[in-house]
């Protein structure tokens, strides 16, 4: 698979794109039984360095 020209998160053109799985973390609250929930995107995305710095994700296992 070819590396796209742009980051798939912020759409900025980038040369330092890495395939990652986007992760959402829902903090524990009294509403959800004090259990932290982690959900993952169903498919990997190409992210630039800036997005990898600012947003939760995990590396794609290759
Ligand atoms: Zn980006």
As a residue count, the chain comes to 62
At residue 18, does pLDDT exceed 90? yes
The C-alpha atoms of residue 45 and residue 54 are separated, in whole angstroms, by 15
pLDDT for residue 3:
84
Ligand 1 centre distance from Cα of residue 21 (Å): 13
Write the Ramachandran bin of 53: left for phi over 0, alpha for psi from -120 to 50, otherwise beta.
alpha
How many angstroms separate the alpha carbon of residue 48 from the centre of ligand 1? Answer: 4
Q: Which residues surround ligand 1, an ion (CB under 5 A)?
A: 7, 9-10, 48, 51
pLDDT confidence tier of residue 8, bands split at 50, 70 and 90? very high
**How many angstroms from the chain centroid is the CA of residue 19?**
9
């Amino acid at each position: 698979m070819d590396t796209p020209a742009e980051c798939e998160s912020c759409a900025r053109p980038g040369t330092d794109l890495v395939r990652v799985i986007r992760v959402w973390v829902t903090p524990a609250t009294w509403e959800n039984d004090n259990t932290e929930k982690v959900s993952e995107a169903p498919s990997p995305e190409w992210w630039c360095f800036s997005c990898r710095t600012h947003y939760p994700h995990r590396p794609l296992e290759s």
